[in-house]
Amino acid sequence: MVNSEFGNMAMISFNPESCINCGICIDICPLNLISDNNYNNSTPFMPDEMDNVCMKCGNCEAFCPENAISPQFSTQYSQLSETTSPETEFEQLGLYMRRRRSIRNYRNEPVDQKKIEDLLDIVRYAPSGMNKQPVNWLIIHSPEKMQKIISLTIDWLREIAESTVDHPLKPVFPSIISAYESGDDPVCRGAPHLAIAYGEVDDPMIYTDCVVALSWFELAAPSFGMGSCWAGFVKVAASSYQPLIDELNLPPGHVLQHAMMFGCPEYEIHNIPGRNPPNINWS
């Protein structure tokens, strides 16, 4: 058996004309599925029975120096440019990450859906446990839907404020409710949209994977002219307030893990604020 692009259609195929048998793909596979023990030639291969085990992490394709590996699942992108250099990009990346700010003031204008799709096309590369990629997205785009979610979140705040339930933020609930009743938006800060990451309730890794994905969303958003901020009140309300849960109408067996408000920032960032030095312990 030869799993090459000229042979059978395996999950991972290897081009024997390009492969230089460097062994990197064998070494880099996290589940040790790739072998060089091929009785036809020395080209690496992955047995067909391993197709259902492969987690489609893409490591073999990403690290192949000769672009000799072709997965039978969509990856869309090919080799990096030869001009790409982690060393030369270090300063630019550091500046970009340090400039990131949580945005709480937004222009009253919608973001084009195509731009949001392009952003999520990057976010889908966020790491996930066993590369299961379990994160689903609900993008609240219409103003009417946004106002409904904000209103229901305020209703939850009122319910908690009037109850005997103990909540660490309960002392500030009256001022938040008052601001809303005065015409402000203390829940989503005037953001035109919400990105809601959700997944199956029985998945033990789903919360972590959703938070990681939203962190990528937050980090990538400025490159699309957008800003974002974690929507904590929406997240907490949607965890228990049934009217809000019903309004989100997620598929059965799925729950909201976290939410992020986003849109076009009202103000431009001019400076990078100070931060405490990292607290590092060496062992």
Q: Which residues of the chain form CATH 3.30.70.20?
A: 1-79
Q: How far apart are CA 165 and CA 17, in angstroms?
A: 68
Work out the end-to-end distance of the chain between its first and last CA atoms, rounded to an integer number of angstroms: 49
**Residue showing tokens 């009202």:** 266
Task: Give the architecture (CATH level 2) of 98-263.
Answer: 3-Layer(aba) Sandwich (3.40)
The DSSP element (H or E) to which 145 belongs, if any, is helix 143-161
The dihedral sign for the CA sequence 96, 92, 127, 56: positive
- pLDDT of 246: 98
| Cα 56 versus chain centre, distance | 17
pTM of the model as a whole: 0.82
Distance CA 118, CA 127 (A): 18
| pLDDT tens digits for range 40-84 | 567 888 888 888 888 888 888 888 888 898 887 665 555 555 555
Is residue 44 exposed (0-12), middle (13-18) or buried (19+ Cβ within 10 Å)? buried
CATH number, domain 1-79, options 3.30.70.1140, 1.20.120.1750, 3.30.470.20, 3.30.70.20: 3.30.70.20
State the angle between helix axes of 113-123 and 206-220 in degrees (0 to 180), rounded to the nearest 10. Answer: 120
Four-residue CA torsion sign, 27, 131, 101, 172: negative
Measuring CA to CA, which residue among 198, 193, 180 is closest to residue 256? 198
Q: Which two tokens stand for residue 192?
A: 């035109």
CA distances from 134 to 29, 36, 50, 157 (A): 21, 32, 21, 30
Q: Which residues of the chain have pLDDT under 70?
A: 1-10, 37-41, 73-88
State the Cα–Cα distance between residues 79 and 2, nearest whole angstrom: 24
Q: What confidence score (pLDDT) does residue 276 get?
A: 84
| pLDDT value of position 4 | 38
Residues 6+ apart with CB under 8 A from 9: 72
Cβ atoms of 42 and 36 within 8 Å: the answer is: yes
10-to-50, 69, 141 alpha-carbon distances in Å: 9, 11, 40
Q: How far is it, in rounded angstroms, from Cα 83 to Cα 76?
A: 20
Question: For residue 2, what pLDDT is reported?
Answer: 37
